[in-house]
Structure 1
Amino acid sequence: MPSYHGINLCCGDPQETFACLEMLGRGADGAIWKAQDKRSGEVVAFKVICGKRVDEAIDAVQKEIDIWQGCQHANIVKYHGTYLSDPELWISMEFCRGRSVADVLADLAQPLAEPQIAVISLGILQALSYLHASMTIHRDVKCSNILLTDKGQVKLADFGVAVQLPNAHSLQTSFVGTGCWMAPEVVLEKPYDMSVDIWSLGISCIEMAEVDPPVITQSPHQMVYSIPENGPPGLADPRQWSHRFQQFVKACLAADPDHRAAAGTLLKTAFIEKAGDWTTLIPLVQQCMEKRRQDAHKQKVIRKNSPQRSPRGSRSGAIPGRSAGSNTGTCTESTDRGRWCGLPVFFDACGSGCDSPRFC
């Protein structure tokens, strides 16, 4: 098997094997594409890292793949393999037709119902319990990295900033993650462990309940320094939600990581134990898929009737809805949500200018 900088490569040219279907979004280090295997008809997702970004990001990509390919769990997006199509690196993964929970929130422009939040939280907790058992910290849990299949399955995606600790006593200090979802100890660059993922899940629960994370108008430091006076972030109107959900969010958002519940403990809470199964999410996914079809049809009509059509290969390939939503990977959110709310601090946005694989 050929390799590139220690990454095992799949044989063949992906441009000959796969047909591009649509661009799903732009990640921190490349564009995300939906593609179809010409031989089998299987639909997959690709993260395409272009040109100079390959050399710049290769160490981070190697670490991401090393962790990701070792993850075999129903609630984690499957890694298929990596191709080299000089000068691009193509990372193939499972495609989730329901796209991300961030996309769902943007499509519906309204919060999720509590039973839906419970099922999604259950799936992510199962993924985190699996990761934490192997001393792996995801470090970027948020709704744009929580994907849904057309069967209602919940999948955790994007291991671009994940890290595996050497042992149970090891801690991290890197300032890594996405602003609004970062735990206080990460923001303050104090030593931290797997519990930072639990904080991010708590913020994601509020995001699902209120469409936006609770501190989008603040920088991470402003949020942290307000905790002694105002307490940790919480639901804006707790009366709208069950006591079970309120207690679950509170357990996730304990300011002191030593008092923050572990994934295994949260799986035993009343909120999670009473959660339904994946089928609870099927109507939600179907509703969003239908809305996307309608939106796509409207856009097609508009383009057809427009006297000025965008040239092929223009850089306007974003999905309808907020730019944060992506099928895989972490995508830059619209600037009006605040500079801390979309892009992982660890990376700069891809500046290669290469949105479209050459095979399109």
Structure 2
Amino acid sequence: MEKLTDLRCELELTRTLRHSNVLHMERLYVDVIEESLWIGMELLDRSLADVLAVVGEEVGSAQEDSSSGAVVEIPETMVARFVCDALLALSYLRKHHIAHRDVRSDNLLLSRSGVLKLSDFSSAVRSPPGTHKRSDPVGVIYWQAPEMRTGLYDPLKVDVWSLGATTWELVHGDPPFADVQDTRRIVDEQFPPVREPEAYSRSFHDFLHLCSRPAALRPDPDELLKAPFVRTGCSRSEIVRLLGQCKTIDEQQLLRLSSDSHS
């Protein structure tokens, strides 16, 4: 019942939202007899977290087998395209005074045409001008803005930090601080240094710096859409090609598992 209440609140919050980078939940279907719940929404291909998992598994396979061919990669220009789509979604939400509060790779989904859409509004809140600050630290700590862990915060400021953390994740495979076993020890107010910083452009580093600024100085999505890094995004066709590669890798892994089970 609590889950149903949460979903109804999410549907109420998002029912009037229409944007190409926001996944729209059309309606809920409740089967009281079977005690089941169905959610009607657009069918998408996979999340960025799924893409990262496939890429990571392919890297491991390539290291074990040098003859396996080229490793699938997420180049910086593709990261920029993902970031641009996410910023367009956040800009739209901000105009409606909505904070998502759980931006991360699991909640950023890709369509078959290579369009990224922001999903899962279970932690989202409406925060019109004059609204009091919040104190509830929702979301997952690795993507959480530092002010969410220390007291009152402006919910409309935290999504940019979380997008920065996701950007960091896209080039490392894991989110910031993922190697910290006791999450209570995460007190940093900046992202960890980028590994192999020379491999990335100045505009990439500048973008991460902007996302990790203190809340009072952190730019909003519209400002970040003007950042040089965001304008370097690849074409949609490259993302479609990546999705095709991920599908091929999935099929190859299934074949390997089937072969191993019969050997």
TM-score (norm 2): 0.86
Task: Classify the secondary structure of the residue corresponding to 1:65.
Answer: helix
| AA of the residue aligned to 2:79 | I
- Determine the structure 2 residue equivalent to 1:102: 49
Task: Classify the secondary structure of the residue corresponding to 1:173.
Answer: coil
| AA of the residue aligned to 2:78 | Q
- Determine the structure 2 residue equivalent to 1:268: 226
Cα 1:189/1:59, change in 2 over 3 Å: farther
| AA of the residue aligned to 1:293 | E
| AA of the residue aligned to 2:232 | K
Task: Render the CA deviation track for 1:91-110: whole Å, top value 9, x for unaligned.
Answer: 1211112x011111111115
Cα distance, 1:274 vs structure 2? 2.5
**1:236 maps to which of 188, 195, 202:** 195
**1:141 maps to which of 86, 90, 103:** 103
Asked whether 1:185 is paired with 2:144, we answer no
After TM superposition, the structure 1 = structure 2 runs for residues 117-266 of structure 1, keeping only pairs within 5 Å, are 117-167=79-129, 169-218=131-180, 219-224=182-187, 226-227=188-189, 231-254=190-213, 256-266=214-224
Task: Render the CA deviation track for 1:46-88: whole Å, top value 9, x for unaligned.
Answer: xxxxxxxxx1223221111112222211011132321112211
5+ long unaligned stretches in structure 2:
60-72
Task: Classify the secondary structure of the residue corresponding to 1:92.
Answer: strand
Alpha-carbon distance in 1 for matches of 2:77, 2:243: 14
Cα distance, 1:169 vs structure 2? 4.5
CA contact (8 A) 1:150 1:286 kept: no
Cα 1:302/1:67, change in 2 over 3 Å: farther
CA contact (8 A) 1:119 1:280 kept: no
After TM superposition, the structure 1 = structure 2 runs for residues 1-360 of structure 1, keeping only pairs within 5 Å, are 55-86=1-32, 87-97=35-45, 99-109=46-56, 112-167=74-129, 169-218=131-180, 219-224=182-187, 226-227=188-189, 231-254=190-213, 256-300=214-258, 305=262
Cα distance, 1:275 vs structure 2? 1.9
Cα distance, 1:237 vs structure 2? 2.6
Alpha-carbon distance in 2 for matches of 1:284, 1:272: 19
Cα 1:243/1:168, change in 2 over 3 Å: farther
Aligned residue pair count: 245
- Determine the structure 2 residue equivalent to 1:326: none
| Amino-acid identity (%) | 30
- Determine the structure 1 residue equivalent to 2:68: none
- Determine the structure 2 residue equivalent to 1:340: none
Task: Render the CA deviation track for 1:208-240: whole Å, top value 9, x for unaligned.
Answer: 00000120133554222x44xxx4434223211
Alpha-carbon distance in 1 for matches of 2:207, 2:39: 36
Cα distance, 1:118 vs structure 2? 0.3
Alpha-carbon distance in 2 for matches of 1:234, 1:131: 30
Cα 1:90/1:302, change in 2 over 3 Å: farther
Bigger fraction of residues in helix: 2
Cα distance, 1:153 vs structure 2? 0.9
Greater relative contact order, per chain length (Cα 8 Å cut-off, separation 6+):
1
| AA of the residue aligned to 1:96 | L
Alpha-carbon distance in 2 for matches of 1:155, 1:249: 21
CA contact (8 A) 1:175 1:187 kept: yes
Task: Classify the secondary structure of the residue corresponding to 1:89.
Answer: strand
Task: Classify the secondary structure of the residue corresponding to 1:194.
Answer: helix
| AA of the residue aligned to 1:106 | A
CA contact (8 A) 1:145 1:157 kept: yes
CA RMSD between the two structures: 1.9
Alpha-carbon distance in 2 for matches of 1:133, 1:241: 32
TM-score (norm 1): 0.64
Alpha-carbon distance in 2 for matches of 1:102, 1:162: 20
